[in-house]
Chain A
Amino acid sequence: MGLKNNLHNLKQKYKGTKMAPAFNAIHTFLYLPDETTHNGTHIKAADDLKRTMNTVIMAMVPCLLFGMFNAGYQHNLQVGEIQAVTSGFFSPEFWTLDNFMIGFWKIIPLVIVSYGVGLAIEFIFAVIKGHEVEEGYLVTGMLVPLIVPVDIPLWMLAVAVIFGVVIGKEVFGGTGMNILNPALTIRAFLFFAYPTWMSGDKVWVEGAVERTKEIAAGANLDAISGETILGTLAQGKEMTHSVADMFLGFIPGSVGETSTLLIILGGLFLVFSKIGSWRIMLSSCVGALVMGLIFNGVVSSGWITETSKFYGLMSTEFWHHLLIGGFAFGTVFMATDPVTASQTTKGKWIYGFLVGFISIMIRVFNPAYPEGVMLAILLMNVFAPTIDHYVVQGNVKKRMKRLKAKVA
């Protein structure tokens, strides 16, 4: 009983003072509070905000672990230590302790910085506002390390987290009041503030930036690099990765978004635990496929030739778009954010479809911003309340008509 009692006593001691929310937060984070309601409630459910958040985090853990292996794998592959995977998902070349440890020591600091800085800001704001600490950062803190390049400097991540949490969330009133997805706000900030660390062929492979510096300083080493598939296609180059690699995730990219397979597993987990909206996931995929088909049609009808700068991405087979880049990750884990997505059923279909549709459009038409899904979700976040408004108004109108018909 030691820790629990101590925390409880601390909480009682600071009750009514400025620091009360901070101690209360630590207490309720670790233990069930003593002051739960015992009678008078009509709905009994265990799925409070904390449990919802934890479910999402569990769905992301496979992506995180895979990301650690992949970071080491990409590094060793580029250095020439190991051969490329040959025998499917369980290739022994991939699942080695060596690969894992390289990724582990690179990615755990990202997780620690993300959670440390983000939760510190949540605590500060809770104390200033005199509110309880909100759990909203739990999911964001896990999303952030998964959607950044592995070599991003930690201080940049910290600056971006401060910006994203304060400007993206706290100014609007905290968890549940934000217009934009905080994790994507953080990524968008990094993307526009430090573009050299968020794109190009150096940042996606562990150690590539370091190696380039050593070579510049005169070391006798081979340069290592790894361009994402989107980057390769946007430059109109030939793709060197097989479709199986793209699906299983043995490709360079942000930490946790490469393996479409594991993202689908996480998505299924979210759908079956009724936390993520399958309507948004499905309609987003449909939207992306429709846009992909339109572009394929444009290419096959001959309007766009190989000389066009759009040719590389436009001629990509339409269903490949679902596998490459962060599309799958964004659709499953970020477009479905219950706070920033549309709330109405019909609205979810429209919202999801437009997320997918616009993602592929941005991807193809603006090769400078290859990650269209980030901008598409942020854009649709802004429009989600408008979509809901018209869906609700449409419903009101329909019912009014029915009422009139009945009266008459």
Chain B
Amino acid sequence: MGLLSKKDAKLITDPLADNNPITIQVLGICSALAITAELKASIVMAVSVMAVLAIGNVVISLMRNIIPSKIRIIVQLVVVAALVIIVDQVLKAFAYELSKTLSVFVGLIITNCIIMGRFEAFALANKPWRSFLDGIGNAAGYGLILIIVGFFRELLGSGTLLGFKVLGDPIEKTGLYAIGYENNGFMLLSPMALIVVGIIIWIQRTKNTALIEDH
């Protein structure tokens, strides 16, 4: 890697797999369950969180030496809140329909544990460039799971991907539907998202047994 040193590259690749915020640290589950019924919403959510986390990490990192430790949580909250409001306004302006699908969950990015977690654990103790990479990496790890879950839920639940009818038309009975296939309504309900995340966790830990926790 010419662009990034080995140590910096790890900041991005680690959260994608062996230190994934959702499947390993089990943070940010709520939004992974709530908005993954459609792939499009998953992608927008992933991008939004990435913007908030990367910029927020840089801002906190720049201020890390002047924030009094007693009020640091409040300062962090102000930073996230400001960024989330900006993201929310941008979505409302340029993707109104999508922002309605995501509804309250854009606002709830504030409560996404991953964000406060990275501010506390990383940005407060590292320089801006490394904090930026850490934000990108963790948001990418989060987004990766969201997109996988969204892919399966939309494909099996609605028979579409990003709105395109990839399996045929359920009303006209074309494609797969002609031979009796039907959409799985359970996939559109949140419990199934939990089960899909569970299956990802299962596969990941079977591949890399070092990740299994001791009891």
A interface residues with partner B (beta carbon < 8 Å): 153, 155-156, 159, 167, 171, 189, 192-197
Interface secondary structure of B, over-half rule = helix
| CA–CA, A192 and B180, complex, Å | 18
Asked if B18 is at the interface (CB within 8 A of a chain A CB), the reply is no
Asked if B202 contacts A193 (CB within 8 A), the reply is no
**Chain A residues whose C-beta falls within 8 Å of the C-beta of B186 in the assembled complex:** 189, 192-193
Asked if B195 contacts A193 (CB within 8 A), the reply is no
Asked if B182 contacts A192 (CB within 8 A), the reply is no
Asked if B184 is at the interface (CB within 8 A of a chain A CB), the reply is yes
The 22 listed contacts between A and B (C-beta, < 8 Å) are: A153-B180, A155-B180, A155-B181, A156-B182, A159-B184, A167-B195, A167-B198, A171-B198, A171-B202, A189-B186, A192-B185, A192-B186, A192-B189, A193-B184, A193-B185, A193-B186, A193-B187, A194-B184, A194-B185, A195-B185, A196-B182, A197-B182
| CA–CA, A196 and B182, complex, Å | 10
Tell me the nearest residue of chain B to A189, going by C-beta: B186
**Chain A residues whose C-beta falls within 8 Å of the C-beta of B180 in the assembled complex:** 153, 155
Interface residues on B, range: 10 to 19
**Which 4 pairs show the lowest CB-CB distances between chains A and B?**
A193-B186, A192-B186, A193-B184, A193-B185
Residues facing A in B171-215 (CB within 8 A) are 180-182, 184-187, 189, 195, 198, 202
Asked if B195 contacts A194 (CB within 8 A), the reply is no
| CA–CA, A214 and B86, complex, Å | 56
Known: A193-B184, A194-B182. 6 other contacts (CB 8 A): A153-B180, A171-B198, A193-B185, A193-B186, A194-B184, A194-B185
| CA–CA, A171 and B189, complex, Å | 21
CB distance from A183 to the nearest CB of B (A): 17
| CA–CA, A197 and B185, complex, Å | 11
CB distance from B100 to the nearest CB of A (A): 25
**Chain A residues whose C-beta falls within 8 Å of the C-beta of B198 in the assembled complex:** 167, 171
Most buried by B among A193, A195, A197: A193
CB distance from B207 to the nearest CB of A (A): 14
**Chain A residues whose C-beta falls within 8 Å of the C-beta of B189 in the assembled complex:** 192
CB distance from B198 to the nearest CB of A (A): 8
| CA–CA, A197 and B187, complex, Å | 16
| CA–CA, A189 and B189, complex, Å | 11
Most buried by A among B180, B184, B195, B202: B184
CB distance from A227 to the nearest CB of B (A): 21
**Chain B residues whose C-beta falls within 8 Å of the C-beta of A195 in the assembled complex:** 185
Tell me the nearest residue of chain B to A192, going by C-beta: B186
Tell me the nearest residue of chain B to A193, going by C-beta: B186
Tell me the nearest residue of chain A to B157, going by C-beta: A193
| CA–CA, A405 and B27, complex, Å | 50
| CA–CA, A189 and B184, complex, Å | 9
**Chain B residues whose C-beta falls within 8 Å of the C-beta of A189 in the assembled complex:** 186
CB distance from A378 to the nearest CB of B (A): 12
| CA–CA, A178 and B186, complex, Å | 21
CB distance from A80 to the nearest CB of B (A): 28
| CA–CA, A192 and B191, complex, Å | 11
| CA–CA, A32 and B189, complex, Å | 46
**Chain B residues whose C-beta falls within 8 Å of the C-beta of A171 in the assembled complex:** 198, 202
**Chain B residues whose C-beta falls within 8 Å of the C-beta of A159 in the assembled complex:** 184
CB distance from B41 to the nearest CB of A (A): 21
**Chain B residues whose C-beta falls within 8 Å of the C-beta of A194 in the assembled complex:** 182, 184-185
Tell me the nearest residue of chain A to B189, going by C-beta: A192
Residues facing A in B144-180 (CB within 8 A) are 180
**Chain B residues whose C-beta falls within 8 Å of the C-beta of A196 in the assembled complex:** 182
Most buried by A among B186, B187, B198: B186
| CA–CA, A197 and B198, complex, Å | 27
